[in-house]
Amino acid sequence: MFLENEAFLTALNKLYQTSTKKGTVWTTMKRYVDSDSNFQKKKADRINPETTEEEIKCLVRSTNGKKKISTIVLLKDIPSFEKSYKNVLLLNLDNLKAVPKEKKKQINTQVTAATKKKTN
Amino acid sequence: MYINDWEEFYDKSEQLYRQDPKRTRFVFKFRHIESKVVLKVTNDTVNLQYQTDKEDDFQKIEQINSLFFRIMTEQ
């Protein structure tokens, strides 16, 4: 399903929320390239070569394996999109943070124990 | 192929993209139950992957996101 930038981020947020108990979310990013098979466009390019200079766009797609969403971000919208996208990730990767925190602490205590031994 | 060293993964990703900007894509995979993150950069020939589940690595995800937003929009 193709969406506007704002709607995409909202849908992505929802996608993450529905995939908390099971499932995986994939997000793919790439430069948007107009398909070579677009005959009309090729024709237009031949007639007027100046139009070949494409505006740079970025294609972002997300899926949980069932539902697919996508959006195209224009160059001028990149900074704001990047910011909002980061917020969506922050919000949804929050649970990921809690688990490794203990791991990190364990490592730290191990390290401090090791250094203590050394100093002793 | 998984790359364990972050710097290496980051540099190679950028190189790979620059070699073939039209074909290279960046995939961010997140599995909530396992709280596992896999970052993948591929052009269908070369495949670079990095995985993590650590809190500190959110910064890295951010880093690679902004890298791709930047290099994808370069002229």
ipTM of the complex: 0.89
State whether residue A66 sits within 8 Å of chain B by CB: no
- B30:A92 CB<8 A: yes
- Using CA atoms, how far residue B68 sits from A93, B35, B57, in Å, is 19, 23, 17
Classified by CATH at the fold level, domain B6-72 comes out as 3.30.720
* Cα B30 versus chain centre, distance: 13
pLDDT of residue A85: 92
pLDDT band of B42, cuts 50, 70, 90: very high
Task: Give me the residues of A, 84-113, that contact B with CB < 8 A.
Answer: 85-86, 89-90, 92-93, 95-101, 103-104
- B68:A90 CB<8 A: no
What residue ranges of chain A have pLDDT lower than 50?
99-104
For residue A96, give the nearest of B22, B28, B35 by CB distance.
B35
Token pair, residue A89, equals: 């990730």
- The answer to whether B13 and B41 are in contact (CB under 8 A) is yes
pLDDT of residue A91: 86
pLDDT band of B9, cuts 50, 70, 90: very high
What is the three-state SS of chain B?
Answer: CECCCHHHHHHHHHHHHHHCCCCCEEEEEEECCCCEEEEEEECCCCEEEEEECCHHHHHHHHHHHHHHHHHHCCC
Segment (H or E) for A39:
helix A39-47
Which residues in B lie closer than 8 A to residue A96 (C-beta atoms)? 30, 32, 35, 37, 53, 55, 58
**Out of 3.30.750.24, 3.30.720.10, 1.20.58.710, 3.40.47.10, which CATH number does the structure's domain A5-39+50-93 have?**
3.30.720.10
With a cut of 90, say whether residue B26 has pLDDT above it.
Answer: yes
- The answer to whether A13 and A20 are in contact (CB under 8 A) is no
A4: how many CB neighbours lie within 10 A of its CB?
10
Domains in chain A: boundaries? 5-39+50-93
Domains in chain B: boundaries? 6-72
